Chain A
Amino acid sequence: MDQSINARAIILAASAIGVGFAMIAGIGPGIGQGYAAGKGAEAVSMNPKSGKQVTMIMLLGAAVAETSGILALVVALIMLYANPLVGFTTGTIVVAASAIGAGLAMIAGIGPGVGQGYAAGKGTETVGKRPALQGPIIRTMFLGQAVAQTTGIYALIIALVLLFANPLIRLL
């Protein structure tokens, strides 16, 4: 009995660390969106007439750049409110390490966050210069941002596998 309570406490503690690690991914969208916002301000100062379009592209691009932050939040919220690892009574150390690992995986979100924010900034800048080309610019920006998201999605998949369908626990 005492053993199982200890196991539970260790898994919960590891989940707490994992949640903290996961949120480090927020660095990425922060930098990226800041860059996009800076480019937006610059574009408006160059060509005040295109202000509305510039703001729209900036917000759309920044919303996509937010994705990896949201995915990190998803993993953190799962571990806080719907932790699937709590029930395990065997292999405590593996389960605890999986919780930390799931959090660590989400740090990969920094990359897509910065990269997508950079794309959003460039999109904003060019729409400010040439508002007539808004359609093609926005399309290319979204496509590039989607490809830049790929590694962040891989990180999410690994985090979800560690949480919900952990193959390592079955190997014990």
Chain B
Amino acid sequence: MQPIAFGPRVMFEIPILDGIPVTETVVNTWLIMLVLVVLAILGTRTLQLIPKGRQNVAEAVVEVLNNLTRQTMGDDKTGFAPYMGTLFLILIFMNLLGLLGLRPPTADLNTTLALAVITFCMIHYFGARSKGTGTYLKGFAEPFVLLLPMNIMGELATPISLSFRLFGNIVGGLIVLTLAYNGLTSLSTSLGLSAFPILQGGIPVVLHLYFDVFAGVLQSFIFVMLTMVFISIAMD
């Protein structure tokens, strides 16, 4: 039996520095970037005072994201809405990419860890800026100095748990779906249906519904919410 590979495939190599491999993750992220940029241009072209058509949809999306940020972080931190909204949109698109039969970029630890490191930097940059660097750094030695290593460990655990939570959930779904498709393929081949693989047509819908739609949207929401909560706790 040939073991099934679950890692991202290398699509092509950039022929400099011994060849830089470009994986499926990167190519699919480019695709999502393209779609989001095109949607943003289409949604904001020829803006009018009284919106209609596409502008209505764009305004509704922006309003929902603004409200989510305001409710979670407080009125004084509405300025974070553009970043949080972008994060939410790109995560939703990434997690739902499995519905098109493409590999979700979030099933790669590189993607989720990069996003979590951005969150980590934001937590500490904005924390230090709003409290003053000295006061902020002193906060790590509270309630008393001996707890300093514990506090630093706790801070470092934040990006790790944030990235692994998203990665683990999405890669779990990816593995289940890959195994299900493989199993259904061999089942329909053994039934003599290899020309009409109807078994793969309907049955995985239930799995896609749970792993891609439910878990995907929920995990995007949770990643954005935790980012917002951590930043606003560090600032207050």
Question: Which residues of A come within 8 Å of B, CB atoms?
Answer: 63-64, 67, 70-71, 73-74, 77-78, 81-84, 86-87, 139, 142-143, 146-147, 149-150, 153-154, 156-157, 160, 164
- Would you call A146 and B3 a contact (CB within 8 A)? no
Question: Which residues of B come within 8 Å of A, CB atoms?
Answer: 1, 3-4, 6-7, 161, 164-165, 168-169, 171-172, 175-176, 179, 182-183, 210, 214-215, 218-219, 221-222, 225-226, 229
Q: Return the chain A residue nearest B1 by Cβ.
A: A86
- Would you call B183 and A81 a contact (CB within 8 A)? yes
- Would you call A146 and B222 a contact (CB within 8 A)? yes
Given A139-B225, A143-B229, also A156-B179 (CB < 8 A):
no
Given A63-B214, A154-B164, A157-B168, also A143-B3 (CB < 8 A):
no
- Would you call A142 and B221 a contact (CB within 8 A)? yes
Q: A74-B172, A142-B225 are in contact. List 13 more A-B contacts (CB 8 A).
A: A64-B218, A67-B215, A77-B175, A78-B179, A83-B3, A84-B3, A139-B225, A142-B221, A143-B225, A143-B226, A143-B229, A153-B161, A164-B7
- Would you call A82 and B222 a contact (CB within 8 A)? no
For the complex, give the distance between the alpha carbons of A73 and B172 in Å.
9
CB-CB under 8 A from B165, the residues of chain A are 146, 149-150, 153
**Contact partner, A73, options B164, B176, B218, B221, Cβ 8 Å:** B176
Q: Return the chain B residue nearest A66 by Cβ.
A: B210
**Contact partner, A78, options B7, B175, B214, Cβ 8 Å:** B175
**Contact partner, B218, options A71, A142, A147, Cβ 8 Å:** A142
**Contact partner, A77, options B7, B169, B176, Cβ 8 Å:** B176
Q: Give 29 pairs: A residue, B residue, CB < 8 Å, sorted on A.
A: A63-B210, A63-B214, A67-B169, A70-B176, A71-B172, A74-B175, A74-B176, A78-B179, A81-B4, A81-B179, A81-B183, A82-B4, A82-B6, A82-B182, A83-B1, A83-B3, A86-B3, A142-B221, A143-B229, A146-B165, A146-B222, A150-B161, A150-B164, A150-B165, A153-B161, A153-B169, A154-B164, A156-B172, A157-B168
**Chain B: minimal CB distance from A152 (Å):** 8
**Chain A: minimal CB distance from B9 (Å):** 15
- Would you call A142 and B222 a contact (CB within 8 A)? yes
For the complex, give the distance between the alpha carbons of A78 and B5 in Å.
11
- Would you call B172 and A143 a contact (CB within 8 A)? no
CB-CB under 8 A from A64, the residues of chain B are 218
CB-CB under 8 A from A82, the residues of chain B are 3-4, 6, 179, 182
- Would you call B210 and A81 a contact (CB within 8 A)? no
For the complex, give the distance between the alpha carbons of A149 and B166 in Å.
11
For the complex, give the distance between the alpha carbons of A70 and B174 in Å.
12
CB-CB under 8 A from B214, the residues of chain A are 63
For the complex, give the distance between the alpha carbons of A86 and B229 in Å.
44
CB-CB under 8 A from A63, the residues of chain B are 210, 214
For the complex, give the distance between the alpha carbons of A82 and B171 in Å.
15
**Chain B: minimal CB distance from A23 (Å):** 15
**Chain A: minimal CB distance from B169 (Å):** 7
**Chain A: minimal CB distance from B82 (Å):** 21
For the complex, give the distance between the alpha carbons of A84 and B175 in Å.
13
- Would you call B226 and A146 a contact (CB within 8 A)? yes
Q: Return the chain A residue nearest B7 by Cβ.
A: A164
CB-CB under 8 A from A147, the residues of chain B are 161, 226
**Chain B: minimal CB distance from A57 (Å):** 14
For the complex, give the distance between the alpha carbons of A166 and B21 in Å.
23
For the complex, give the distance between the alpha carbons of A15 and B46 in Å.
61
